[in-house]
Copies of this chain bind each other. A is one copy, B any other.
Amino acid sequence: MRLSRYFMPTLREAPSDAQIVSHQLMLRAGLIRQEAAGIYAFLPLGLRVLKKVEQIVREEMNRAGAIEVLMPTLQLADLWRESGRYDDYGEEMLRIKDRHERDLLYGPTAEEVITEIFRAYVKSYKDLPKNLYNIQWKFRDERRPRFGVMRGREFLMKDAYSFDVDEAAARRSYNRMFLAYLNTYARMGLRAIPVRADAGPIGGDLSHEFIILANTGESEVFAHQDLVEMGAPGPDIDWDGDLQPLVDQRTRLYAASDEMHDAARFKKEVPEAKRMTARGIEVGHIFYFGDKYSKPMKAVVAGPDGVERPVQMGSYGVGVTRLMGAIIEASHDEAGIIWPDSVAPFDVAVVNLRVGEAAVDQAAEAAYRGLQSAGKETLLDDRDERPGAKFASLDLVGLPWQLIVGPKGVADGVVEIKRRATGERQTLPLEAALKAIRG
């Protein structure tokens, strides 16, 4: 993409109401624009990141055996009356009347809709397990939306729902999601810690939150250092096999967010040298809640004995837009964002330092084409701007690599490459530079 034709409106200053660094940087880097309180448009660069985050979430769900569907944003109030949640949900639910005065709502979550879909088609334990997920816009009418996409009102969520014949099978579904979540965050360059969670308004008795470490995080987390350092299980585990040992390995080590923290237990269970306290951001929440919805909504399956019973359910949420903010909280410096390679809007910027000088233009074009034909998503900075302005905006938007083409280098037959994360620079012939970036 040629920047002269693109739409990347960077700003020198963030609006004063942006309080946290991810919000400030998303506005300054031209990733989002606020359209109403807690409601954002995604500008081209922001949308590219959002799609990449979304795609990683999707791939890890698919790998763990979940099947993608898409539920509508608007839901019938009557479904929520069936589950009993319509009156309970409170003012965060955006309630709507259509032209015929029928009660609709903008889904804040989708347990009721997916249960309605399930019960319409699935009747037998033979069709289980099933895990159906979707990645769709949700709305929660926060009283005080703030922190940009971290606490927005309209937000993109991946929500998965598992259906099993009994509790033991439901636990297996839960374990698959538990491990898939760790893989998901790891692919985005994040360190995620699973902590036991309060099941909250969704209810149920088995629940974990996933917290990623970021100095600017909203909550405090207390954990055994070994858990923090334990890697994600990786994609090549046997998803149909017994995953309990991999889960136990992680859940037996102490980890809690401030709400659930028990200082006495922390002291007792974790040796002093292993006690980690840090700031973090919640980026996922998984629940097992049994027949909480299936029972009132009559989603039953016949077991091997022919007897019908309510299906055992769990739900599994990741805030996709929120993750974008969380990644920035975890990865930035004073100059701007430092995107992990896997979610960067482009892999590399080719910076033409002397637009209009034929030899430099040619060398920049050659680099641009070379990177593109190697499959690298490349932004060509062909703007008629001072080098300082170019570097400032490119550091701000935080692509992993810059390949810099200037008149002196061209005369010497070299270009410069810069790794955004480390600031490391190398001066190399073009071919060697392309090779370094291709990896």
Contacts and interface: CB of A to CB of B under 8 A. Distances in A.
Interface of A: 5-7, 9, 30, 33, 35-37, 39-44, 47, 50, 65, 67-76, 91-92, 94, 96, 98-99, 102, 104, 106, 113, 116-117, 120-122, 130, 132, 137, 139, 141, 143, 153-154
A67 B39 contact: no
A7 B132 contact: yes
A65 B1 CA distance: 10
26 contacts: A5-B65, A7-B69, A7-B121, A30-B121, A35-B75, A36-B74, A36-B76, A39-B72, A41-B71, A41-B113, A41-B117, A42-B69, A44-B68, A44-B69, A47-B68, A72-B137, A73-B73, A73-B137, A92-B99, A94-B96, A94-B98, A96-B106, A98-B141, A98-B153, A99-B141, A99-B143
B74 A139 contact: yes
Is chain A's interface secondary structure helix, strand, loop, or mixed overall?
mixed
- Enumerate the 10 nearest inter-chain pairs by beta-carbon distance, A residue then B residue, closest first: A9-B121, A42-B70, A91-B99, A39-B72, A36-B76, A41-B71, A99-B141, A47-B70, A72-B154, A44-B67
B130 A36 contact: no
Nearest to A32: B70
A7 B70 contact: no
Copies of this chain, whole number? 2
A70 to B, nearest CB: 4
A42 B73 CA distance: 12
A104 B39 CA distance: 11
A426 to B, nearest CB: 32
Contacts of A68: 44, 47
Contacts of A92: 99
A48 to B, nearest CB: 8
Given A5-B65, A7-B69, A96-B106, 14 more contacts: A35-B72, A35-B113, A41-B69, A41-B70, A41-B71, A41-B117, A43-B117, A47-B68, A47-B70, A72-B154, A73-B137, A96-B96, A98-B141, A98-B153
Contacts of A141: 98-99
A7 B122 CA distance: 9
Nearest to A141: B99
Residue from A5, A39, A75, A113 with most neighbouring chain B CB atoms (10 Å): A39
A33 B120 contact: yes
Nearest to A156: B70
Contacts of A104: 36
Contacts of A73: 73, 137, 154
B75 A7 contact: no
Contacts of A41: 69-72, 113, 117
Contacts of A122: 9
A71 B132 contact: no
Contacts of A30: 121
A337 to B, nearest CB: 19
